[in-house]
Amino acid sequence: MGGRGKVYLVGAGPGDIGLLTVKGLRCLQEADVVVYDFHLNAQVLNYIKHEAEFIYAGKRGGHHEMTQDEINRVMVEKAREGKVVCRLKGGDPFVFGRGGEEAEVLAEEGIEFEVVPGVSSAIAAPAYAGVPLTHRQLSSSIVIVPGSEASTKPGSKINWKALASIDGTLVFLMAIKNIQEVVDRLIGEGKDPETPVAVVRWGTRADQRTVLSTLRKLPEEINNHEIRPPAVVVVGEVVRLRQKLNWFERKPLFGQRILITRESMDAYRRLEELGAELFQFPTLKVVPPAGWDDLDRCIEGVNRYHWIVFTSANGVSFFFQRFFQLGRDIRELSGIRLCAIGSKTEEALRGYGLRVDLVPESFRAEGLVDAFASMGSLQGVRFLIPRAEVAREVLPEALIRAGAEVDTPTAYRAVKPTTHAKRLRRFLQEGKITVATFTSGATFRNFCEMLGDDARELLRDVKIAVIGPVTAKAIESEGLRVDIMPEEATVEAMVEEIIRHLGGAG
């Protein structure tokens, strides 16, 4: 991108990917360079629509990949190269996120910038724990305090006497390491030791944990429950409402983090609605074929076919993309019968205004051939099956045995994406993935290649869900157990079976 660059200081929210703002998402998709921190959901990065440069700034509990000066320098340098930079920060950039300091540097250097507020963990974590920060009968004020300044160090600007006297809600961020000092200062300045307190760790995430206590017992409870950063501490009478208002942790699939190994996420949204967190790690990327010659030849002679069989929505998309690129008219398909394997494939064809003649009840090749044969002899009937580069030959061979002529040009191919597996590996090692889903043998094989030699071992304690018996066989041949498999080989059926298996039905 030429011309003057620009920097967006974007708050990504506290963890739940749905809390990223619409404007923040647009900035992320526009960016040429993304400089991001540790305390955000890395799944946000999957929403980038083009090849961008990723720069990890770190900033995890005192351990930094880059110093603040280095971060500032990178933003300025990249913007001066004419690039759009997205400085992606957890929570809100102006709430203890050094966003103000970074904006000052950009202003001093004459770099154009915008600030895109994010949902702060100070607000989101209590809300997901069922603790409203204000309430007409209990609290009419909020004070957000950096717990890292709890010590008596010179220069701390916290007025502890004023905090202790506030008849409202106190929210402490970054306070876990100094929690004894926080408690001592508040009680020492007159705060009631029996004031209710909630501590929310990893708020809005699948591994959210909430501990209730009183101010006096807080350090002991944090130690007993082994609470570590990041966590938000809420002090005030509003904490008493959690018992009634706790909604997130009561969802039937709360605590489940489900690995999705394909690009499309829409079919899995029901899991999210029931409280699961989706971890997207595509092991297959659908791209155009290496060459169009075979498909072009079939399209140019399309009026010679009696049937066009689409085996997937991808086949529909890539076929018609090329069909229209060649300047063809949809009316050329008049008189050709259409078969769609699966409801999603039928839906994709209807999107082009096309009526589907056959949606077989059975996905098995033999059942398909029987369905075609019921309409008459297949001798000399010409079939076009635009499909993936690597596909099973069962259906074409069965049709040929029945006397049909079959062309199977490549309409698209599935390749292994270049995705960094570091965070997924860590989640698997720490037991933070509860279910792994695979929709083909290829998604499983690519997963193993991308994770490395111990990929199978990392899956030992994870429930494995598959779309059907072919995928199950590929996984079981590697010595792993398949726990979840639907009767119908569709993603939607697999999702429902996952819900049933995890006890989320109803």
Domain that holds residue 32: 6-119
In the predicted model, what is the mean pLDDT of residues 41-60? 78
Number of domains in the chain: 4
pLDDT value of residue 362: 56
pLDDT value of residue 151: 60
pLDDT value of residue 471: 94
- Find the range with the poorest average confidence among 341-350, 415-424, 461-470: 415-424
pLDDT value of residue 20: 94
Q: Which of 24-28, 37-41, 192-196 has the highest mean pLDDT?
A: 192-196
Residue 1 lies in a domain: no
Condensed to tens digits (0 to 9), the pLDDT of residues 129-139 reads 999 999 999 99
Distance of alpha carbon 44 from alpha carbon 424, whole angstroms: 14
Condensed to tens digits (0 to 9), the pLDDT of residues 71-124 reads 999 999 999 999 999 999 999 999 998 999 999 999 999 999 999 999 999 999
* Whether residue 102 is found in the same domain as residue 244: no
In the predicted model, what is the mean pLDDT of residues 327-355? 92
Q: Is the pLDDT of residue 256 over 90?
A: yes
* Whether residue 219 is found in the same domain as residue 269: no
Last residue of a domain, one of 365, 393, 414: 414
- Find the range with the poorest average confidence among 48-57, 333-342, 402-411: 48-57
Higher pLDDT, 49 or 497: 497
pLDDT band (50, 70, 90) for residue 393: confident
Active site residue 37: yes
* Whether residue 298 is found in the same domain as residue 277: no
In the predicted model, what is the mean pLDDT of residues 227-241? 97
Distance of alpha carbon 14 from alpha carbon 204, whole angstroms: 7
Residue 506 lies in a domain: no
DSSP letters, 464-492, are EEESSHHHHHHHHTTTPPP-B--SS-SHH
CATH code (residue 438): 3.40.50.10090
Active site residue 217: no
* Whether residue 246 is found in the same domain as residue 277: no
pLDDT value of residue 269: 92
Q: Which of 97, 88, 104 is nearest to 11 (CA)?
A: 88
Q: Is the peptide bond before 230 cis (omega within 30 degrees of 0)?
A: yes
- Find the range with the poorest average confidence among 61-65, 437-441, 467-471: 61-65
Distance of alpha carbon 502 from alpha carbon 149, whole angstroms: 43
Condensed to tens digits (0 to 9), the pLDDT of residues 57-71 reads 876 555 557 899 999
Backbone angles phi, psi at 106, to 5 degrees: -65, -40
pLDDT value of residue 506: 46
* Whether residue 305 is found in the same domain as residue 371: yes
Q: Is the pLDDT of residue 155 over 70?
A: no
Distance of alpha carbon 219 from alpha carbon 323, whole angstroms: 67
Instruction: Give me the catalytic one of 6, 16, 32, 59.
Output: 59
pTM metric for this prediction = 0.83
Active site residue 153: no
Q: Is the pLDDT of residue 166 over 60?
A: yes
Residue 341 one-letter amino acid:
I
* Whether residue 81 is found in the same domain as residue 137: no
* Whether residue 280 is found in the same domain as residue 423: yes
* Whether residue 206 is found in the same domain as residue 135: yes
Distance of alpha carbon 337 from alpha carbon 290, whole angstroms: 28
Residue 503 one-letter amino acid:
G
Instruction: Give me the catalytic one of 6, 16, 32, 37.
Output: 37
* Whether residue 75 is found in the same domain as residue 27: yes
* Whether residue 104 is found in the same domain as residue 154: no
pLDDT value of residue 374: 81
DSSP character for 43? Answer: G
* Whether residue 371 is found in the same domain as residue 295: yes
Residue 233 lies in a domain: yes
pLDDT band (50, 70, 90) for residue 170: very high
pLDDT value of residue 152: 54
- Find the range with the poorest average confidence among 30-39, 73-82, 326-335: 30-39
Q: Is the pLDDT of residue 1 over 70?
A: no
In the predicted model, what is the mean pLDDT of residues 144-149? 89
Q: Is the pLDDT of residue 208 over 80?
A: yes
- Tokens encoding 247: 């909604």
pLDDT value of residue 24: 95
CATH code (residue 25): 3.40.1010.10
pLDDT band (50, 70, 90) for residue 2: very low
Instruction: Give me the catalytic one of 16, 32, 75, 174.
Output: 174
Helices and strands: H and E segment counts in the chain? 19, 21
